[in-house]
Amino acid sequence: MSVKVYVYGLCNVFYDGYYIFGIKKVYKNYKFNVSKFPDLSQGTFAFIVEEGSNFKKIIIDSGDASTIDLKALDWCDIYGKVNYNSNNIETGNQGKIISIGPSFGVKIWNLFQTFYHLTLNYFRFRKQISNAKEFAVNYWRQLKRLKLREYVPSESSRSDVFFINSIWKKESNTNANRAMFIQCCKSNSNIHFEGGFAPRSNGDNLGYDHLIYPKKVPLEIYIKKNKKAAFVFNTPAVLSCHGWKLAEFLALGKAIISTHHYNKLPAELIHNHHLIYAENTEEINLAIDKIIGNHDFKQMLETQSKKYFDDYLAPEKVVKRLIEKK
């Protein structure tokens, strides 16, 4: 029996191209469509799998907030949520929701394919598009990302550490945790540290001017330097979300030091197995010493972080888990 897959034609291909890639891996083919997705908002990621008279309607919500799109929840059979937190959900349809963990932006089409899909979908769905500029820009934004095949482990350094991150105006805890990590690295004579905060565009660095890294780092160089880094640091970002960096670090098979997560993951990340959890300066310093002082332990973290990504976060694994959810 043939299977037909339809992807909502007004989705955000920059944020959710990751899942389009997963659908392609699982089902080989799909079609963009709008008529089968009544009343969904532009930017929603939804797809339908039809097999004969059976069909399943699936939402993937990759937004930073832990809130739920109630209209989308009512429409679907399964609601995959990146930033799932049951404490913030008040709905009778909670049984539909499944935690899928973080993803990140990937390049899914070359220049010709991007132009083809953008042009075709724009003219097919232009009457339903509420924000034409946003619709078009997101196609070009995915073109600037790297393909998923670039996110593979490589041999890491024993002592080189690279870290560059944003300063968020409303995320004081995120900023403080990142600053704490930078200062721990700068004060450790056993490692060679490069990085700091990226300067804010308005020049207001919220008191972190002494930790600014003034160079602009292209994405390709950023990933290359992270591949080489002895270890990396993660902390929840905007609205306490699972940021793209967590998924990127796991895909790259990095030894990760992280503060604890606010939102649920599809499976537990185990302390001293997949990563090291550290909440303060003392714990970060101990984690650094443990990683650079024990090469076998470091390699174990690298192996297990990559395995976690392959088992739970790889695009095709996410799609299969949503399809198989009863």
Give every CB contact of residue 27 below 8 A, 6+ residues apart in sequence: 3, 5, 49
Mean pLDDT of 275-288: 98
Query: For residue 91, what pLDDT is reported?
Result: 64
**Mean pLDDT of all residues in 308-318:** 98
Q: Is the confidence at residue 188, as pLDDT, over 80?
A: yes
Token pair 């897959």 is at which residue?
Answer: 5
Q: Quote the pLDDT of residue 108.
A: 98
CA dihedral 198, 200, 203, 207 (to 10 degrees): -70
Cα–Cα distance between 48 and 46 in angstroms, integer?
Answer: 7
Indicate the domain borders of the chain. 3-99+108-144, 160-313
Structure token digits, residue 23: 């659908």
Return d(Cα 233, Cα 208) in angstroms, integer.
18
pLDDT at 1 over 70: no
Q: Are 288 and 193 in contact (CB under 8 A)?
A: no
Residue range 91-98: mean pLDDT, rounded: 81
Pairwise CA distance, residues 319 & 326, whole Å: 14
Q: How much is the average pLDDT of 224-252?
A: 97
Return mean pLDDT, the chain.
96
89: pLDDT strictly greater than 80:
no
Give the C-alpha separation, 72 to 41, whole Å: 9
Tell me the mean pLDDT in the region 225-246.
96
The answer, yes or no, to whether residue 284 has pLDDT greater than 90, is yes
pTM of the predicted structure, to 2 decimals: 0.96
For residue 193, the model assigns a pLDDT of 98
Mapped to the 3 state alphabet, what secondary structure does 193-231 carry? EEEEECCCCCCCCCCCHHHECCCCCCHHHHHHHHHHCCC
Contact call for residues 305 and 275 (beta carbons, < 8 A): yes
Per-residue confidence (pLDDT) for residue 320, from 0 to 100: 97
User: Per-residue pLDDT averaged across 295-304, rounded?
Assistant: 98
Q: What is the pLDDT of residue 50?
A: 96
Local structure of 179: helix, strand or coil = helix
pLDDT at 33 over 70: yes
In the block, tokens 């930078």 appear at: 182
CB 321 within 8 A of CB 98: yes
Average pLDDT over residues 126-141: 97
Average pLDDT over residues 54-65: 96
Q: How confident is the model at residue 90 (pLDDT cuts 50, 70, 90)?
A: low
Q: Over the range 28-53, which residues count as b (16 or more CB within 10 Å of their CB) and which as e?
A: eebebbbebbeebebbbbbbbbeeee
The class level of CATH for 160-313 reads alpha beta
Which tokens is 264 given? 């649920």
Residue 53 has pLDDT above 90, yes or no: no
Cα end-to-end distance, the chain, whole Å:
20
Q: What is the Cα Rg of the chain in Å? A: 21
If 0-12 CB within 10 Å is exposed, 13-18 middle and 19+ buried, where does residue 185 land? buried
Confidence of residue 92 (pLDDT cuts 50, 70, 90): low
Does the pLDDT at position 250 exceed 80?
yes
- Segment 292-305 shows an average pLDDT of 98
Residue 39 has pLDDT above 90, yes or no: no
